[in-house]
Every structure is written in structure tokens, then in C-alpha cells.
Chain A
Amino acid sequence: MGELVDALAVALKAGLGFQAVFLALLAIGINVQFGYAGLLNFGQIAFAMLGGYGIAVSVSQWGLNFWVGVAVGILAAVVLALLLGLPTLRLRADYLAIATIAAAEGLRLLFRSVSATPVTNGTRGLSGFNADFVALAPWDTARRYGILGTRWSGAELWVTVVGWLLVALSCLLIWLLVRSPWGRVVKSIREDEDAVRSLGKNVYVYKMQALVLGGVLGSLGGMVYALGTASANPDQYQNANTFLAYAALILGGAARVLGPVVGAMLMFFIIQFADTGLRTLIGNGVIPEDLLSATDVAQLRFVLIGLGLMLLLVFRPQGIFGDRREVMLDAR
């Protein structure tokens, strides 16, 4: 019983921690692109990587101010969105999907390559760039704090609080945008692109704006993650994370303002609970070691995410809050 409570506390911390913020911001970005505008961006993690590395490279390699790093990260995400959108947004949905996933994988390979080592420090990654940010915290960051039976370090708590603030602000922004004329046009593009075009709207520009906005939100997520882990490493930004965010979005409900946030929290709660639970069961010998070892549990989470993503799309594509009619799941 005590173990169950422990597992619940660990899972609760995961559901509220900066990893959940990271996932929520990625999913909010995807929600703008996929949920509202109907764009398939499968390279969201690349935007996050640019955000994280924007700070990491600016501060620890170039010795710039922390806020300059934030600007560099956002700017890099905007440039990437423009570069990806320019050739592909005129084409069918799956072309954007292929181009974005290729760009994400390509960028990761580039960042971890030997030739990029002078800038990104290759596979060893960068660290020691979050001191300026942590110093902004209004409380003592060296202490540890206990909240609801979970333990947090001061720095971790600060990153998390700022992260959730960012999430709240993004949600507010999306809520305002979706109710605005801009939001209505974007949603109609998702439903029928040709109809919008015949009304004289420049579909291409609207799609591009959605792509850039979603990408910038993704880069903010990457920054929170880099600050939370206090390091930036190319292999933290595996493209499986993009699909984790898709799963979270669809679980919460696409095309709903709070869908991605609830989805992300729930997702991390479930993953961490399953993770800790399985490890405990293996440790107790309930699950024999030959069948599943403790090291396999980390992989098993992705197996479960894959399975969950499939089942969700087949049986409940609108997720928890979504409206079935609003979920863009039909290609032209």
C-alpha cells in the first residue's frame, strides 16, 4: 500500500513537473497547427531543440545574456518554420509531414555531428547555462521544498512555476486568437481550403502564420526543458517526443484550448505511474525478471504510447474534451 502511495506521489510530481510543461507547450503548438489549421507538423521536436540550444549555445558558448538566448531560440524557430513552410504548404498534407520529420531528424544528426561540435559540443551536449535564470527565483533555490508529499529542489520549482505561467499565457493567447477573425479563417482552412480561397483569403499566409506560431510555442517548450534539466543534448530531442505530444494532444482533445494541457499532464501521470508501478512489481518479483527487466521499462513506455495513440485514433479520435466534428482527421 505504501508503495502504491509512493508511486502515486512520483506520478503526481511527473504530471505537474517541468517535463509535463515541456510536453504541454509542444502539444499546444501542435494544436495550433494540427488542431486548428489542419497542418501535419511531425518535426515539432526540432523547434524545441532550437529553443533549448538557442539558450544553451548563446549563454555557454557565446557568453551572451540569458534573454538574448531566449530571443535567439525564438528567432531560430521562426526561421525553421518559414524554411519548412515555404516549399511544402502549397502541397498536400503528407508532404509537410515528410518534410518536417526529415528536418527534425536531420537537425538532430547535424547537432550531434563532429562538424558541429565547436558550436553544440556534439553528443556530450552543453550545460551550465541556467544560472542567470535560476538567480531570478524569489525563493532560496538551494533548499528543497515538500509539496503534497513530493520533494522539489528550489530551482526545479522555479522552472516549473515559470513553465506553467507560460502555459497559461499561451492558452490565453490561443483562446483569444481562436475567437478572433483570424481563428475563424484558420479553422475554415482546416475544413475546406478551396472554399476559403474562393472567399479571397490568402490560405498560404494563414497556414504559414499557424506554422510559425506553433513552432515558437514548441521552442518555448524546449527552453523550459533545457532549463529544467540544466543541460542540452541532441539525444534528448528524439523525434519520439513529437509523437508523445501528438498522443497527449489527441488524448486531451484536439482543437480545444485546454485539451493539450490536460492531455500532457495526464499523459505524464500515466506514464510515470506505469513506469514506477512496473519497476516496483519487477523489484518485488511479481513480474519475473526474464520476462521484463527493469531496463526494459523505459522502452516499454514508448510501446504503450504507440499502442495508446493507435487505440485513441481508432476508437476516440476526439479524445476527452474534443468535438468529433471538429477533429481534422480527413485528408483531402
Chain B
Amino acid sequence: MLLRLILLTVLGGLALALAPGAASAQTQEPAATEQVSGTLRTNASGPIEGVEVVVTTAAGAEVETVETDDNGQWAVPLPGPGQYTVTIDADDLPDGVVLTGENTRTVTVDAGRNQGVIIALSDGSREAGGGTVRWVQLLVEGLRFGLLIAMAAVGLSLIFGTTGLTNFAHGELVTIGAIAAWFINVQGGVPLVPAALIAMVIGAGVGALNELAIWRPLRRRGTGLVAALVISIGLSLLLRYLYQIIFGGGSEAYADYRGQRAVDYGLFRMTNADLSSIVIALVVLLLVAVMLQRTKIGKAMRAVSDNRDLAASSGINVNRVILVVWMMGGALAALGGVLLGLSDEVQWDMGFRLLLLMFAGVTLGGLGTAYGALVGSIVVGVFVQMSTLVIPNDVKYVGGLLLLIVILIVRPQGILGSRVRVG
């Protein structure tokens, strides 16, 4: 219902604009260049380029006419303080975007001030069909999110299946992918696609390191599963805060594919980056399924997952299978991290926040089954997004976590799990 506005404004000193007392003190300074500025964008269309903006004085004399740039931004320097009228040309707006009010706005500019101008726009989704569109939109977004969770969760589930380890440090494999790709992309200047591939290799490497340096020696020592679980929590804390030291506490975007305009597909809108991440996730998950079903190593994975002793006595090298599972899990989680970073920006604790939804997905699908993780994660992703139809956006994760607890009551073995596993 709410896709409204937005001619948003970025001004030099927002704090000044909000504090009149401080502002009047500022007027005594040698007046720099007064100007009016703003940004034209809506949620669905992204930044709007090439719209004509005319600025006139209160008397009606034109100051300057400009067009918005590819970020939707415009700015006009002014001859001095005073009242100015800003008019945008409604004919330049892209299809579907309309003005919700007047196309002009009169602002008073104080000396030395960069005055922002807000003109309300609507991207028309309200008129185009109300509830249905929003419903489909959320479904598609949920699918995208669910596929991301699934990519990360397949490894989590297979690791549980083959070793019995509930790996609380799996979220950190997601984060390392996103952060590695960010450093390679932004600091190293490598395009995002090769950067993502390198990040996957790094993810696989970290997965292998996990297994070789920690978990294999611990299995050899006969460390219990609960001890292993607490150790994985220690590892998760260690890595997570190490990331914060290295990467910082803020959130950063990749250099490529920024601020894309959403393309209209009739019932829903989506940026090309989001659409590609759906396609990538689908293709990768299909490949994983084919591998599990058709290849020797895939069959071995399922065999070890099903009954480790029987697999070992049938001549399967269990340790090698587990190593491959860790590498695959690491690479998939890293790719999931890159795609998540693309849509939600990169943060030091993004993986940990995803971890709980991964657990929800894996539990829903059935702990230890690869396909269960897939199905469960997609359901969780769709549920989390669709729940915003009834609950506010900032508590949508709470809904997902609540779903997890409800699953545990109703069907603890999950959709595809077998009763035996629950104990």
C-alpha cells in the first residue's frame, strides 16, 4: 500500500536545518554558495534520470534549468538567500511514476545553506492493483531470500548429517564470503563476478581448514557432540568479532550493480541484480541436487549421512567425504553471503543473523537431509517476507524464529526428516 514518494533530499547540513538557533548563528559567516538540491527516486523505479528541474526566483525569473543525473540527483547554485520555486517536468517521469501532489515547491533558502527540496512521487503500484501486486511482490522477494538461506543451509545440514555437529559457526562462513568479495571488489577493483568466484574458493578453503584444523582432530580425540557444539560457538564468537575488527561495524555496499532500477514484470518489480541472484541460486542448487543424485561423491555423501558405519564398511572413505562436504558447504555459504551482501549490504554479523533462519529452515526441512534444508529454507524465506503483510517490517525475523518454535511443537522431525532422528 505504501510505495509512495520520494523526492528525497540530501543537504549539506541537515543538523543545521533542524536547529534554527544554530542556523541563525551560521548566517553571520561569509555566505558561501547557497543552493537547492534533491534526489528523484521511488522504491520501484530506483533513481530517476533525465528529469528537467527548473528553479525560479520568487519574482518568476528563471535561475537555471538542470536535468537529474544517473543517481537521480540535481543541484542548482543560487545567486543569494531568499525564496525560490522549484518545478519539475512531470512529462519526464518514467512510466508508472506520477506526482502525488503539485509539481512545484517554494522554499526559503537562508544564507550559506544547501536547501533540500522534497516533492512527493508515487510509483503507481497502488493504483495498479493494490493487494495482489504486493502479495506477489513479497512472494518473489521471499523466494529470493529463501534461496539464499537454502544455499547457506545445505552445507549446514550436510555437515550435521555426516558428522553430527550442530555448527553454530556456519554463519561465519557466510560472512567470510561476503567480506572477502567486498575487499576484492571494492579495495582490489576486481569486478563482482570474478570476486564472487574467488570468495567461493576462499569459502571452500575456510571450510576445509575448519575440518582439517579443528573438527577432524577433535573427532579423533573422541570429543562429545555437546562439547563440539560449544566449541563451534567459541569459534563463531572468535571469527565474528575478528571480522568486526577487520571490517568495522558499519555496512558497506559492493562497487558494482548499485542503485539499479526495478524492472516491471507485470505482477511484481525486481532489479536485475535480484533477478540474477535468483537465477544463480536456482542453477547452483540444481547442480548440487544433480551432484548428490548422480555423482559418486554425492552418493557417498548421502550414504555417510544416512549411516556412517555402514558407509565406512562399504569402503567409503568417510573422512574424505566429510572434507568434501565442508568445502562444498563453505563455497555455497560464501556465495550465499555475496548474494546477500548484494541485496542487503555487507555487515560483520550478517551471517550470524542468517544462522538462526538457517536453523529454522534446516529444522523445518529435517535436520541432516540436503533436500529438506532446501525446501525448509525456501518456506522460511517466503514466510518471513510474506509475514510483513500483517506484521511490521522490523519484526519480520521474529516471525521466522517463532515459526521455528512452532515447527518444533508440531513436527520436530521436519517435512522430510524421519522420526528416528529426533530421539
Residues of A near any B CB (own CB < 8 A): 40, 42, 84, 86-88, 91-95, 97-99, 101-103, 105-106, 109-110, 113-115, 240, 243, 246-247, 250, 292, 296, 299-300, 302-303, 305-310, 313-314, 317, 328-332
Known contacts A102-B360, A114-B394, A307 near B238 by CB under 8 Å: yes
Report how far A114 CA is from B409 CA in the complex, Å.
29
B401 & A103 in contact (Cβ 8 Å cutoff): yes
Known contacts A95-B412, A109-B397, A329-B226, A103 near B405 by CB under 8 Å: yes
A243 & B237 in contact (Cβ 8 Å cutoff): yes
A94 & B408 in contact (Cβ 8 Å cutoff): no
Out of A95, A99, A103, A115, name the residue touching B392 (CB < 8 Å). Answer: A115
Report how far A115 CA is from B245 CA in the complex, Å.
32
A-B contact pairs, 10 of them (CB 8 A): A86-B409, A87-B408, A91-B408, A95-B412, A105-B397, A114-B392, A243-B237, A306-B240, A314-B223, A329-B230
Expressed in whole angstroms, the minimum distance between the Cβ of B367 and any Cβ of chain A is: 8
A303 & B423 in contact (Cβ 8 Å cutoff): no
Expressed in whole angstroms, the minimum distance between the Cβ of B381 and any Cβ of chain A is: 16
Out of B164, B234, B245, B422, name the residue touching A243 (CB < 8 Å). Answer: B234
B356 & A306 in contact (Cβ 8 Å cutoff): no
Expressed in whole angstroms, the minimum distance between the Cβ of A295 and any Cβ of chain B is: 9
B423 & A91 in contact (Cβ 8 Å cutoff): yes
Q: For the complex, is B270 an interface residue (Cβ under 8 Å from A)?
A: no
B395 & A310 in contact (Cβ 8 Å cutoff): no
Q: Which residues of B contact A103 (CB under 8 A)?
A: 401, 405
Q: Which residues of A contact B238 (CB under 8 A)?
A: 302-303, 306-307, 310
Within 8 A of A (CB), among B255-311: none
Q: Which residues of A contact B391 (CB under 8 A)?
A: 115
Known contacts A99-B408, A106-B398, A40 near B241 by CB under 8 Å: no
For B236, B353, B356, the residue with the greatest tally of chain A CB atoms inside 10 Å of its CB is B356
Q: Which residues of B contact A308 (CB under 8 A)?
A: 234
B224 & A305 in contact (Cβ 8 Å cutoff): no
Q: Which residue of B lies closest to A304 (CB)?
A: B238
B398 & A109 in contact (Cβ 8 Å cutoff): yes
Report how far A330 CA is from B164 CA in the complex, Å.
12
6 closest residue pairs by CB, A with B: A306-B238, A306-B237, A309-B234, A330-B224, A331-B225, A106-B401
Known contacts A40-B226, A310-B231, A102 near B237 by CB under 8 Å: no
B402 & A106 in contact (Cβ 8 Å cutoff): yes
Q: For the complex, is B233 an interface residue (Cβ under 8 Å from A)?
A: yes
User: Interface majority SS on B: helix, strand, loop or mixed?
Assistant: helix
Q: Which residues of A contact B11 (CB under 8 A)?
A: none
Report how far A310 CA is from B412 CA in the complex, Å.
30
B226 & A102 in contact (Cβ 8 Å cutoff): no
Q: For the complex, is B22 an interface residue (Cβ under 8 Å from A)?
A: no
A296 & B245 in contact (Cβ 8 Å cutoff): yes
Known contacts A300-B245, A303-B238, A309 near B166 by CB under 8 Å: no
Report how far A314 CA is from B215 CA in the complex, Å.
11
Q: Which residues of A contact B237 (CB under 8 A)?
A: 240, 243, 302-303, 305-306, 309
Expressed in whole angstroms, the minimum distance between the Cβ of A100 and any Cβ of chain B is: 10
Within 8 A of A (CB), among B192-242: 218, 221, 223-227, 229-231, 233-242
Q: Which residues of B contact A310 (CB under 8 A)?
A: 231, 234-235, 238
Known contacts A102-B401, A300-B241, A328-B226, A91 near B422 by CB under 8 Å: yes
Q: Which residues of B contact A296 (CB under 8 A)?
A: 245
Expressed in whole angstroms, the minimum distance between the Cβ of B210 and any Cβ of chain A is: 12
Q: Which residues of B contact A305 (CB under 8 A)?
A: 234, 237
Out of A42, A109, A330, name the residue touching B395 (CB < 8 Å). Answer: A109
Q: Which residue of B lies closest to A110 (CB)?
A: B398
Expressed in whole angstroms, the minimum distance between the Cβ of B397 and any Cβ of chain A is: 6
Report how far A292 CA is from B240 CA in the complex, Å.
16
Q: For the complex, is B244 an interface residue (Cβ under 8 Å from A)?
A: yes
Q: Which residue of B lies closest to A93 (CB)?
A: B226
Q: Which residue of B lies closest to A42 (CB)?
A: B233
Q: For the complex, is B383 an interface residue (Cβ under 8 Å from A)?
A: no
Report how far A292 CA is from B244 CA in the complex, Å.
12
Q: Which residues of B contact A299 (CB under 8 A)?
A: 241-242, 244-245
Q: Which residues of B contact A313 (CB under 8 A)?
A: 223, 227, 230-231, 234
Q: For the complex, is B157 an interface residue (Cβ under 8 Å from A)?
A: no
Q: For the complex, is B359 an interface residue (Cβ under 8 Å from A)?
A: yes
Known contacts A99-B404, A306-B236, A310-B238, A94 near B360 by CB under 8 Å: no
Report how far A86 CA is from B410 CA in the complex, Å.
12
For A250, A303, A305, A308, the residue with the greatest tally of chain B CB atoms inside 10 Å of its CB is A303
Report how far A45 CA is from B409 CA in the complex, Å.
23
Residue-wise interface mask of B (387-416) relative to A, using a CB-CB cutoff of 8 A (1 in contact, 0 not): 000011011011001101100110010000
Expressed in whole angstroms, the minimum distance between the Cβ of A80 and any Cβ of chain B is: 11
Q: For the complex, is B73 an interface residue (Cβ under 8 Å from A)?
A: no
Out of B225, B241, B398, B405, name the residue touching A99 (CB < 8 Å). Answer: B405
